[in-house]
Structure 1
Amino acid sequence: MDELIDLIAIPSTAGRPDDLRRALDLVLALVGPGFDTRHFTSGGRPSALIATPGEPRIILNAHLDVVPGTPEQFKPQVKGRLLYGRGAHDMKAAAVVMASVFRDVAPTLPYPIALQLVTDEEVGGFDGTGHQVAQGVRAGFVVIGEQSALEIVTESKGIIRARLSATGRTAHAAYPWLGTNALTTITAAVTRLLSRYPVPATEEWTTTVNVARVDTPNTAANVVPDTASALIDIRFPPSDPDLAGRSPAEIETHLHTITGVDVTVESLGAPHWADPAAPEVALLRDAARSVGYQGGLLRKHGSADGRFYSAQGVNAVIFGPAGHGQHGPDEYIDLDSLPPYREALTTFLRSLPVPTP
């Protein structure tokens, strides 16, 4: 609990590299000596892989960065059996449990295992898990400690961050027919995009679009703006034939056809899929059931670092404790879920059959 309180108190957001390092160092100190440790840095963001000798059969993956919050959210508070604070649920509590399980269990296992600690998942994961995978890190199976209430997520959506851009012709606002308003061109493009991908009335496993920002450098009310843009966040399932498996150029062409304006894909993360029939998935479900949880299979609308592994043909699942409110003002972890989460991870690791020579 002390390490978790201290970890939540660190404002390890993307714009605070010193605090990202502090968070990583705290968890490395929790694990302690006696393991092989590889340090990585990409884009100014640190990460580490702590392992027993050999290529890991299992990787436990945890991210230590959080989204920004108010100063009060970095002052953890326990209320009954709930621990409130930024990152308590997403996912510092799981990181502490994974680190302690690795420390205590890894030396006793008859196969290699690793703990992967990254500090950039909330901003795309490319400099943490993505960078390590690009450097050749692999495993037979990966468990990511994102929140799941001890259920197993075998599928999650891909993510596209794209910018729509339009140019027009400036003019005096009293004579708008002499100009072409780039801002209204962009809003019309956004309307066409939302018509193609409407926001579902209720939860639905489909492609969704969030309009994050519509902007123009123009600041004068009496001027027709000649440039404008919109920042778009798209989440798409593996079953979307227009987006899944497509290159950035192909996606730009597809979105241009819909919107009629210039499109730039600023980042692309593939959907994540793990074989629900994999033997490790079955053992993880059994482990969850052994501590009183259903161990059901889930799909998540949010993107996660498992996509970097599934792109390499490695099964990666999300399996984490219970809580609520990630990224919100009242984020908390359910402390009652942490002991069974730790026990389920331990049971899973010890239930894997001994590999044949």
Structure 2
Amino acid sequence: MSLTGKHILSSDLFTRDDLERLFELADVLTPVARGRKVTRVLEGAVMASLFFEASTRTRLSCESAFLRLGGGVTTTTGVELLSIAKGESLADTSRVVSGYCDLVVMRHPDEAAVHEFADATHVPVVNGGNGAGEHPTQALLDMFTMHREFHRLGRDIDGARIAMVGDLRHGRTVHSLIKLLSRYDKLTLVCVSPDSLGMPAPLLELAASRGHHVEVSDRPEAGLRDADLVYATRLQTERFADLPVPYSDEFRIDRALVDRVCRPDTVIMHPLPRDSRPAANDLGTDLNTDPRLAIFRQTDAGIPIRMALFASVLGVADAIRPSLRPATWYRPDFTGPDDAPFYRNTAVEGIA
């Protein structure tokens, strides 16, 4: 299915063929994302970046991706800066903004808002996160990361045991991710959370209906044991700030737990931000130098996969390869001091 002109509101849109085409294109675009090569396939195009809710990675990486493709970006953040604060309807805002740009990336705390916005516009709208609903571009970069990590390890995603742990009720990243994972074959999906923060039942039923083995657990030590991949999420306190939640320190994914129950080749991911405060019971910083930790390889995947998505939605994917040329500016080493040796050795060439 062609993605040209499509709204990207949910991971439901993508087939496995779509994912494989996007991954292939993202591999081609990785040197562009890292400042080694240049393309101008979106020269003259404008993206409107509308973030009604806080964002660092999604907003900056979407904007950087569009700019790396040669396009321009117009941006605003916060409801208080928009005419909505003066009483304008979301539909009116959508119709107006669509006259200024060729594509919109939008984040909003109301799950229905991005759909209302898309209904009122004539340009493609990309969901950058809608409350506790979905985050399809995050799920794309997560799957692209899994694809690369498993390829490096000589494994397939098909047949893998994947543990998702944390706040699975409010975590929009895992809602989109489980939909994409369900496009693969014969997975064991282990959903680990307190009972009150479990994965929504319709998503569990979707995965089971597509032939996957689904397990539910409230014990991280048991749920993470022998996983091929662990996907941790933080407690989404902004979604239920006034409600007490049983979230004990057994949900802290630290080096001791990983060494005790995971294999030496288990991949560990997190959509970030992680809450690094000691009492947060999130992904531990003592894993930072562990090569199993893929969180920064994961964030590095954000720009090339979003470039691939924008190029596909705006119909220029086929023009990328012939347009590539070397960059002429100075670029330092791409990786940081804590990156795994295998990543430092390959990142310069744009192969992760």
Q: TM-score, normalised by structure 2?
A: 0.26
More strand by share: 1
Rg (Cα) greater in structure: 1
Q: TM-score, normalised by structure 1?
A: 0.26
More helix by share: 2
